[in-house]
Amino acid sequence: MSDRFSLPPMPLPPMGVNWLGLWTLYLKEVRRFLNVYTQTVAAPVVTSFLFLAVFTLALGRGAEIVDGVPYSQFLGPGLIMMAMTQNAFANTSSSLVISKVQGNIVDLLMPPLSPAEVTLAMTAAGVTRGLLVGLVTATAMAPFVTLAPQHAFFLLFHAVMACTMLALLGMLGGLWSEKFDHMAAITNFLISPLAFLSGTFYTTTRLPPDWQTVAHLNPFFYMLDGFRYGFIDHADGSLTVGLIVMVGTNIALSYAVYTLIRTGYRLKS
């Protein structure tokens, strides 16, 4: 057979990275949650307003002063952070679990993407959803709650790192889970307790000393504390420790997700 019908060898991607494949997977994950934006973007805003109404109006804490600011101003960043992180987690975990249940997880395994590229693309999509939800929630909340950024670096750093942490946790949960019940168990018994006990609705300085120590062992505390500091110029814990915890946790989670994808943990039959 003549060689004129053979395809030329494909050039290697620049720097060994399949940028086109990585970008395509990222766009696929982003479009997946944008197609149901009422569920993935609008619904968290409604939930945040319900929490705001319950704690400031129904419980009568609207006029209370916490850390030198009105309670609503103290609560606002916590609700924004909770909305961001829960949606970053939901984006990556639901994608993997749905693919397993529907039997199309092979669509993630067959493309010429390395484990690192899959990890990066899916994590970036989760971060995108988290930040989008946070921005929409903050915009909707602005007429009712004073949100005046004081430290842009801490605000942006903790927003991105917190969404990254929960997106990676979502991937770990999605890789481990084989059905929706498994994913619900992780959400109900791990993610929600850590989020609610991180100081979202209260300042940890009011806790007894022993419980303050316990609270400071929760990595969710540091992502919220640094983010809230960016708004109200007050932190319950050490900002330096918070930066170290966020970076170290995300490095460890990234390596764990990469290793599980590389070995095909619960992905290959």
Report the chain (269 residues): mean pLDDT per 10 consecutive residues.
42 70 96 94 93 83 83 93 96 94 88 94 97 96 91 97 98 94 93 91 90 92 96 94 97 97 85
User: What is the rounded radius of gyration, in angstroms, for the C-alpha atoms of the chain?
Assistant: 21
- Provide the sign of the torsion angle of the four alpha carbons 196, 199, 203, 204, taken in this order: positive
CB within 8 Å of 42: residues ≥ 6 apart: 136
User: Can you tell me the distance from the alpha carbon of 196 to that of 82, in angstroms, rounded to the nearest whole number?
Assistant: 9
Per-residue model confidence (pLDDT) at position 15: 58
**According to the model, what pLDDT value does residue 90 have?**
95
pLDDT at residue number 269: 58
Domain ranges of the chain: 15-263
* pLDDT given for residue 62 in this prediction: 67
Q: What is the pLDDT of residue 1?
A: 41
Question: Please, are residues 239 and 158 in contact by the beta-carbon 8 Å criterion?
Answer: no
Q: What is the pLDDT of residue 141?
A: 93
Instruction: Write out 140-173 in H/E/C secondary structure.
Output: HHCCCCCCCCCCHHHHHHHHHHHHHHHHHHHHHH
